[in-house]
Amino acid sequence: MIDSSLALGTGKIVAVVALDAPHPHLTAAAPRLQQGRCLAVSVAASWTGASLAEWLRRLIAVMGRPAASLQDGARDLHTAIDLLEEQGLARPAIDDLSHAVATMLKRRDHDHPQCATLVSACGRVAGKLTHTRLACLAPPTGRPKARCMHGHRLVTWADRVLQLSPAGGAKAGSTLAKWRACLAPLPAWKALLRQCRADAVALLDCQTMLKTPGLSHDTVAPCEPLIDTIPSGAVRRELTTSLHSPLQTATTLGLDPVGLPMRSDPIAALFGFATQHGVGEIKDAGRMALRLPALCGVPTRQEAQQVLDVSVAEHQAITAQCPSLIQQRREVVPNPDALESLGMDQASLHVARIPGAKNRSNKQEIVNLSNGSQKAYGPEMHRQDVYYRPESAVS
């Protein structure tokens, strides 16, 4: 699973999290952060398709090519996969189902003349309801980017709250009158809301049905009746393509009887968890990146003991090698003359951790690792409670 974070301070994080290909056979739950292993993480001021491809090539040279890559629909990631394919290093690429669904909704409704107005009006409604007795009825918070990822929540909210305003007059100054004043623009968009919701319900139901068992011919079959209920023909065709195209990849990898993972929730949870915990008032991408590998998988007693044995001086020596916004502020605030030091080019000092080739040949060859997926199902399989971690990493 490959994904990048939003801009955090002066950097942007890219991480690669490994998930066992036959995951649905190993555990009867959707992929979680505990089942993932952070293989590599890097920070840069910005990422392009070319820089991502070069970074992934370095990782492949050490770890070998994966069975497949799972990512969202970001253009730079698709460009990187295309560049790797030109070099003969690409593997099957799978689009995350939740992002694919969001893209379908965006193409369906984003260009509608009332869509932007609806989103803007809901923002104004949220501002009017905050810190009032009607705060519990405020619309869901919008996203600054990828707004359609949770667009169905906005549609569902609007569809429900419109039912709270029955026909007839309302007493002046009453709660209902205030509520109607806030929602004055919404009734004019009932047709748009119902149309959006009709498409979103079937899409989300299919997404939920495939989240835990993965994608296979057996799990796609129950989705067919739901697909037929989607009013929009374009959305029906796009969803059908998004489900049947990865089925070929599942068959090629021998995962059709097991289920092909279609959701990249673990890596999204990794970024969210790192942002919420262990970070100061300044969002420092470098410090976050150093913590990401420790947030994945289940640590062993030996790894826990290694952490306890690290002294404060050793920790500071490691983190001092990377630029830190917190440290820069401590140096600049009491010393205005140090402002010029902030203009220094520190791009080469960003965090970059890739597993070392301790147990591999030092030759710069691409090592093909068998994923074993064709023999990964059957009674001989047992759940793995101990997860592999790279023994060393290089900066």
Q: By the 8 A CB rule, do 376 and 22 touch?
A: yes
Residues 103 and 245 in one domain: yes
Residues 160 and 211 in one domain: yes
Residues 372 and 280 in one domain: yes
Among 229, 259, 289, which residue terminates a domain?
A: 259
Output the pLDDT for position 375: 38
- DSSP letter (8 states) at residue 336: G
Residues 91 and 164 in one domain: no
* Owning domain of residue 255: 97-259
Residue 61, token pair as written in the block: 């040279």
Residues 273 and 284 in one domain: yes
Stated pTM of the model: 0.72
Residues 103 and 251 in one domain: yes
Banded pLDDT at 343 (limits 50, 70, 90): low
Residues 176 and 305 in one domain: no
16 has pLDDT over 90? yes
Mean pLDDT of 274-303: 79
Among 224, 259, 294, which residue terminates a domain?
A: 259
Residues 166 and 218 in one domain: yes
Query: What's the structural domain count of the chain?
Result: 2
Spatial separation of the C-alpha atoms in residues 254 and 256, rounded to whole Å: 6
Spatial separation of the C-alpha atoms in residues 1 and 145, rounded to whole Å: 20
Lowest mean pLDDT: which of 49-53, 309-313, 386-390?
A: 386-390
Q: By the 8 A CB rule, do 203 and 229 touch?
A: no
Amino acid type, 329: R
Classify 56 in phi/psi space as left (phi over 0), alpha (psi -120 to 50) or beta: alpha
Q: By the 8 A CB rule, do 5 and 12 touch?
A: yes
Residues 88 and 101 in one domain: no
131 phi, psi to nearest 5 deg: 65, 30
Please state the separation of Cα 164 from the chain's center in Å: 35
Please state the separation of Cα 110 from the chain's center in Å: 21
Contacts for 220-229: CB closer than 8 Å, 24+ residues apart? 220/244, 220/247, 226/202, 227/202, 229/202
Output the pLDDT for position 316: 78
Spatial separation of the C-alpha atoms in residues 247 and 251, rounded to whole Å: 6
Mean pLDDT of 346-363: 57
Amino acid type, 78: H
Residues 351 and 385 in one domain: yes
Output the pLDDT for position 387: 36
Residues 118 and 226 in one domain: yes
Spatial separation of the C-alpha atoms in residues 16 and 2, rounded to whole Å: 5
Amino acid type, 293: P
Residue 339, token pair as written in the block: 């402002």
Spatial separation of the C-alpha atoms in residues 31 and 33, rounded to whole Å: 7
Q: By the 8 A CB rule, do 358 and 391 touch?
A: yes
Residue 158 neighbours by CB distance under 10 Å: 25
Among 259, 290, 310, which residue terminates a domain?
A: 259
Residues 326 and 387 in one domain: yes
The model's pLDDT over 211-267, given as tens digits with 9 standing for 90+, comes to 888 899 999 999 999 999 888 888 889 899 889 888 888 888 888 888 888 888 888
Please state the separation of Cα 304 from the chain's center in Å: 27
